[in-house]
Structure 1
Amino acid sequence: MRLSANRVALALCLYAALLGVLYAHETPVFEAPDEGAHFLYIHNLLETGELPVLEDREAVFESRAVQRHHPPLYYLIGAGLISWTERADVERYFVDNPFGAAGFVIDLNRNIYLHSPQAPQGDTHVAVWVLRLYSLSLGVATLWLVYRSGQLAFAERPVGLLALFVAVSIPGFIAGAASINNDNLVIFLFTAGIHRVLVVWRRERVTTFDLAVFALTLGGAALTKLNGLALFPLVYAGLVWGALRGRLAWRDVWRVGGVTLLAAALLAGWWYARNWQLYGDPLALSATREVWGRDGNLPDNARLVLLEAMHVLDSFWMTLGHFNLRGPEWLYTYAPLAALAALPGLVRAWRRAGPRGRDALLFLGASCALIIVALVTATRQINVSQGRILYPAILGFAVLLALGWRALVGRFAPLVVVPLATVTLATPFLYLDHAFQHIEVVDALPAAATPVGATSEGLTLEGYRLFTETVAPGEQVRLELFVRGNHPDNPAMFVKALDPNNQQTLGGVDFYPGMAPTEALDDTLLYRVYVQFPIDAGIPLDTGPMQLRLAVGWRVPETERFLPLRDANGVEIDILTLAGPVVMGAPEASPEAQTPTHAGSAETEPPEEAPLVATFGDQIQLLSYTLPDSVAAGETLSVGLNWKATRPIEQDYVLTVGLLDADGRLVAQH
């Protein structure tokens, strides 16, 4: 039975590793949170041979190496792993996207950097992949320890596999594990420390190997991240509790305390002594606050506190990219409710558990509480209100959820995790792939596209394809553009939806096509670019449905210069507009107009629609129509027409409806 469980656990860990590779593949270089800064820490270590020094805020942010306040263990290991690479092209990956949105959700421009379609000129991309795999290996090792701990803590009712399934099914955890970030090492060390306490509780003695593990995990945590220091009181409290409960000898507790403090002093003491020498503070808190301090910008009322807490909770489950990519909205309701549902199960598990089980419940609960308190304390000083800061408690969190659900619904507990697992599996394909769409080379303009041929100083819009035929305020417009050429000033593209009556902008977006700098495009290739933007939710529509015009052009962000335009005939034009979608959503009509009655009848049911009647040219189809059963002389005849545009309509048309008698004579017209 145990062998079978181990095999399933290994399969889940392999699945997590493959999933992490998918996440990494779909996330462009440095588009994971703070990934570029963590990479620069390692790169600069190799280039200068020196540890970083905290300067003033302006200098730190100008350097982009903004994570330099962290202890160096994760980075020293990373430097050893990529020391053989040549990274002279690193600056090529730090071309800013001036429209990039970090920290708030938008539909385009989730990338904060531009990504050249040209072949790499160095090994930076290789180094990034090596470091991502290094992080992923730490994440997979963490998952294995989650499984082993779930088996150990509640041996009479093991929940290791379910706890592992929970941890694997958190998109934010998998995405973080597949990125360059020192959180991955401190998460692993925290998990290893908690697991080792459970091991010695079960064995009821501390071996030499246990001493070595405690020494390395505690010393390593102290040299990885400041919140790693929280592992010391957690491990010591666990050992003391084990002694108080008669499972450990007090001499073992003192041995662990002495050995780990000595190891921490040897492994990490020099770093804190260096901080004292440089900043007059072993923790460098004042210097860190100078860079990352909130400057008194703390939530000052219950509503703001709740909003910040919700942001942390949401990002714990899934807020990817630079905190600008959310998953399906139901996830942020389902996941917290499912977690809350585990609480009555934990109460039931507590009542059923023996002394060992209750001790494990207390210890794992304490690990979660400690990390939450550490986050709350830290976020009052510096801006770290992020869910990933809670992942050092992933072991306690996953095991407690598994235990609660198992106690509540028994063997059906895995079904609670299935929705989370589905989102986690779908994320690389549905969310990351959509959010970070690279520019795509095509052989020719597709037959379904509308030719344009407008040029702008070497850049040509060859054509476009509109996917959104009708749109309501607040909804998305989706289209493809086909562009060719390049420009040395690196202009950006824009698409604006215009009201055809007054040229008012009703929505739009500025962007670089396919996240690529236009100066790096190959002028011999034709590129396909996907564009999406919302129509303003509050636009007034007092004339009924109308077809928007899409203004398309190029602008240099640094100088605000708009590139001149010429149409397909070479004639200079002030503005290039294309046929856009039809906006639906006119103001509500009166009740009488909303529900016309049949002539001569008190019934208000609408008449049945007749099928397709006609196609007008190759642009418009009359799909169906409705007529009343009868109408008397002098009454108004209400005719309902259901239209569809089969391709973008390039000009306005006037609709005429006439009524003929039995002899074909026109008797009424509108």
Structure 2
Amino acid sequence: MTDRGRLALLIAAHVLIGLMYLWATPVFEAPDEGYHTAVIRWIAQGRGLPVQQVDAEQDYAQEGSQPPLYYLLGAGLTAWVDTADWDQVYVKNPRSRIGIPGTTHNVNDYRQPVEPPPLTGTRLKVYALRVFSLALSAATLALAYVLVRRVVPADRQPLVWLTLALVAFNPMMLFIGASVNNDNLLRLTSTGGLILILDAARAERLGIRQLSGLGVVLGLAALSKISGLMLWPVAALALVWARWRGHRGGGPPKKTAARACLLPIAFDLLTTFLFAALVCGWWYLRNWLLYGDPLGLNAMIAIAGPRVIGLGELITSEWYGFYLSFWAIFGAFTILPSPWVQWFFHALSVWALAGLAVVAWRSRRRLTFDCLLLSVFCLLTLLGVIRWTMQTPASQGRLMFGAIVPLSLGLAAGLLALAPERWGRGVAWSLGGLLAGVAAIIPVADIAPQYTPPPVLSEADLPAELRPVHARIGDGIELVGYTADDTPRQPGEVQAVTLYWRALAPMDQDYVLALVLLGRGAQGAGQIDTWPGGGRLPTSQWRPGAFYADPYDLPIDETATTPTRLRLSVSAWVGAPDQRLPVRLPDGSQSLAAVFPVGRAAETQPAAPQPAVRDGSTFEGGLRLLGYDAHWDGRALNVTFYWQTAQAVPADYTLFLHVLNTAGEQVGQADGPPLDGDWPTSAWLPGQAVADRRVVTLPADLAGEGCVLRLGWYDPATGARLAAFQPDGTPWPEAAVILERGLTP
């Protein structure tokens, strides 16, 4: 097969896989896609270019500050699409977890339809713009071939094709390439600019045609994105080198030769950048007149959200997300690929960087000027990204994609450097095929499922283990019941719960659920505020009469007090958290939330108890009193009992505790479930001790006297006591343990 045929096959595969990403990603769910589309729509409506006003909220947000070339082209190509339904499609998810890779809920930045919508209006416009972006991405591949062939010797074909495979099948490149994003035009113009820069550096003579062509492309790059300006100093370096090399004639420059080349250098620079300024200068002049800043960054940062962060903190806290998002973080920086995909790119990166170190060592004395120019461009791009992310949160590796071709060339060189030269062809094609396969799996396995809404169920589909709740929230929602995993959890882990809803009536608002885990003392132990379905099932799109299963992994706070029974408080609000819908419980009472048990949180590292007084009495069902501590605080007797069970306890029992004076009269009482009901006996873990503190306030006339404790367990449903046994197995009378030691005030 000829090189042209291979290139056509590579581009076709890139486009085909790109269409898979286009299909898997709902409208507006690529980074800032809603904002980019809003700029295009604004222009297509004949409103001109956006003028940023920091105190005026617009749909295009900070992207209205971007150079306009991509948006002008997009507006011209899609002006025929009617976007009258914009307000129904462009609806932000107020609980979106944007910027949290791997989040288990609310990965969607916008409200997405529960049922497939027709491809019309705003959605048609977005898909048309995505196809336009994909065409730009395909054209970038064609130019990448030209650029790499300029740099790589003819006898190193494996390096050419592995570089192109790294560009074509980088999952993040495919994801952005199939989205509405001006990065796609930047990649094209940057790659074209690098080709012309290398040609200029090699030219024996530079004419007006070549200089003007380079200037026009530099201007187009600067009109695509501000980072396109990073080409300009590289172009200047190439022009200076070309004249200097020509005047020195291969030897060291002489003073006369140096002076003689100054005028031609000035002419080349002036001509090139004059044409560049003619193309893009009007835009930067406009920014200066509007914002007092030629780049317009002051307004852009103010809208996006400014921050101040040191370089050291930036690197240490955000390097991993930056690195991984060069390869594969999807959605609104919310979706991670499968762990095996991450490990694949970890291995690939380590391999490439190790090999690149070998290449750098071997080439330390014979680095070509072409490689120097490409390296300078990569470095300038990185410095620009660092500078930008130190001013506003934006640490994403995809921002390096203006230099995707030279970066991929370096990675490919590293990958091939560690393999014998005779294996180069096999390594290149094997890795290229593997990259294509991995890239094709991701949209099907990792992206599309994250946006799939819960299916519509019928009553017959409800699980047999459903625990009924039947709480009515507002007029349109019924919480039918739930299922929960009762496996003991620990702070920092998650509690799995699935809620089952029924839509009672049509709803025109999207209600927010407040799901609050309650732990010891009804204190909050974790919370998620979300649209139903983890953001994928907005209530305005519920079908009346339908049932929905809504699973969640609720995080348990690392500071939660343990052990404790976990309860879930479920409520709904609209507008603000204090505007909650009324909840009608099955008994007819009204509340602000439905509360029910869902699990238990155990101690992370339970310590072996060391009671001051050891006992050893046992009760039927396996309960054992290990011992107790007691101390007086005025008239209050504080007693901590240490319990343990050898087996799971089948029911929730109540402890009775009676305080008797020396005459045998009851003078105090402290009955109740363990830990005030927060750790009932049915939740106890075999072999794990439970410390249960009781406080009994005694009469003043008991001061100075001793006392006796009588305690035991009973079933609150029947009042029947559990049989009690002394340490030697002898039954305690009346199923009550008598404790006398250590109780004198």
TM-score (norm 1): 0.76
Q: Describe the superposition over 1:387-415 as per-residue Cα deviations: whole angstroms up to 9, x where unpaired.
A: 22211111111001111221222437557
User: 2:552: which partner in 1?
Assistant: 531
State the Cα distance separating 1:198 from its structure 2 match.
Answer: 4.4
User: 1:227: which partner in 2?
Assistant: 227
Identify which of structures 1 and 2 has the higher relative contact order when contacts are C-alpha pairs closer than 8 Å and 6+ apart: 1
User: 1:428: which partner in 2?
Assistant: 443
Report the Cα distance in structure 2 between the residues aligned to 1:27 and 1:311, rounded to whole angstroms.
21
User: 1:519: which partner in 2?
Assistant: 540
Indicate conservation of the 8 Å contact 2:356/2:413, yes or no.
Answer: no
State the Cα distance separating 1:489 from its structure 2 match.
Answer: 4.5
Report the Cα distance in structure 1 between the residues aligned to 2:649 and 2:185, rounded to whole angstroms.
61
State the Cα distance separating 1:472 from its structure 2 match.
Answer: 3.9
Report the Cα distance in structure 1 between the residues aligned to 2:581 and 2:515, rounded to whole angstroms.
14
User: 1:325: which partner in 2?
Assistant: 335
State the Cα distance separating 1:521 from its structure 2 match.
Answer: 2.4
State the Cα distance separating 1:508 from its structure 2 match.
Answer: 3.4
State the Cα distance separating 1:43 from its structure 2 match.
Answer: 0.7
Percent of counterpart pairs with the same letter? 30
* Aligned equivalent of 1:278, options 290, 306, 311: 290
User: 2:417: which partner in 1?
Assistant: 407
Q: 1:462 to 1:143 in 2, by over 3 A?
A: farther
State the Cα distance separating 1:128 from its structure 2 match.
Answer: 0.8
After superposition, residues 244-263 of structure 1 pair within 5 angstroms as 260-263=272-275
Report the Cα distance in structure 1 between the residues aligned to 2:317 and 2:375, rounded to whole angstroms.
25
* Aligned equivalent of 1:113, options 86, 110, 116: 110
State the Cα distance separating 1:372 from its structure 2 match.
Answer: 1.6
User: 1:481: which partner in 2?
Assistant: 499
State the Cα distance separating 1:561 from its structure 2 match.
Answer: 2.9
User: May I ask how many residue pairs the two structures share in their alignment?
Assistant: 598
Q: 1:314 to 1:264 in 2, by over 3 A?
A: same
Report the Cα distance in structure 1 between the residues aligned to 2:455 and 2:22, rounded to whole angstroms.
19
Q: 1:259 to 1:120 in 2, by over 3 A?
A: farther
User: 1:454: which partner in 2?
Assistant: 471
Q: One-letter code of the match for 1:520?
A: Q
Report the Cα distance in structure 1 between the residues aligned to 2:50 and 2:685, rounded to whole angstroms.
75
User: 1:561: which partner in 2?
Assistant: 579
User: 1:302: which partner in 2?
Assistant: 312
State the Cα distance separating 1:374 from its structure 2 match.
Answer: 2.5
Q: 1:575 to 1:264 in 2, by over 3 A?
A: closer
Q: 1:377 to 1:570 in 2, by over 3 A?
A: closer
Instruction: Name the SS for the 1:337 alignment partner.
Output: helix
Q: 1:590 to 1:154 in 2, by over 3 A?
A: same
Indicate conservation of the 8 Å contact 2:495/2:599, yes or no.
Answer: yes
Q: 1:137 to 1:539 in 2, by over 3 A?
A: same
* Aligned equivalent of 2:358, options 345, 359, 365: 345
Q: 1:342 to 1:654 in 2, by over 3 A?
A: closer
Give me the CA root mean square deviation.
4.3
Q: 1:298 to 1:503 in 2, by over 3 A?
A: closer
Q: 1:8 to 1:508 in 2, by over 3 A?
A: farther
Q: 1:452 to 1:206 in 2, by over 3 A?
A: farther
Q: One-letter code of the match for 1:32?
A: A
**Structure 1 stretch displaced more, 278-287 or 268-277:** 278-287
Instruction: Name the SS for the 2:218 alignment partner.
Output: helix
In the alignment, structure 2 segments of 5+ residues that lack a partner are 250-260, 611-643, 651-679, 687-728, 736-745
Q: One-letter code of the match for 2:52?
A: L
Indicate conservation of the 8 Å contact 1:54/1:287, yes or no.
Answer: yes
Instruction: Name the SS for the 2:326 alignment partner.
Output: helix
State the Cα distance separating 1:129 from its structure 2 match.
Answer: 0.9
Indicate conservation of the 8 Å contact 2:202/2:242, yes or no.
Answer: no
Indicate conservation of the 8 Å contact 1:445/1:482, yes or no.
Answer: no
After superposition, residues 3-402 of structure 1 pair within 5 angstroms as 3=2, 5-55=3-53, 57-59=54-56, 61-105=57-101, 106-117=103-114, 119=117, 123-155=121-153, 156-158=155-157, 159-198=159-198, 214-242=214-242, 260-288=272-300, 290-291=302-303, 294=306, 297-300=307-310, 302-327=312-337, 328=339, 330=343, 334=347, 337-348=350-361, 350=363, 358-380=368-390, 384-402=394-412
State the Cα distance separating 1:109 from its structure 2 match.
Answer: 2.0
**Structure 1 stretch displaced more, 201-210 or 358-367:** 201-210
Instruction: Name the SS for the 2:30 alignment partner.
Output: coil
Instruction: Name the SS for the 1:167 alignment partner.
Output: helix
TM-score (norm 2): 0.69
Q: 1:248 to 1:275 in 2, by over 3 A?
A: farther
Q: Describe the superposition over 1:218-265 as per-residue Cα deviations: whole angstroms up to 9, x where unpaired.
A: 221122222212222223433543555569999999997676445434
Q: One-letter code of the match for 1:278?
A: L
Q: 1:465 to 1:130 in 2, by over 3 A?
A: farther
Instruction: Name the SS for the 1:28 alignment partner.
Output: coil
Q: One-letter code of the match for 1:58?
A: D
Instruction: Name the SS for the 1:67 alignment partner.
Output: helix
Indicate conservation of the 8 Å contact 2:648/2:682, yes or no.
Answer: no
* Aligned equivalent of 2:524, options 505, 530, 541: 505
Report the Cα distance in structure 2 between the residues aligned to 1:304 and 1:65, rounded to whole angstroms.
24
Q: 1:279 to 1:18 in 2, by over 3 A?
A: same
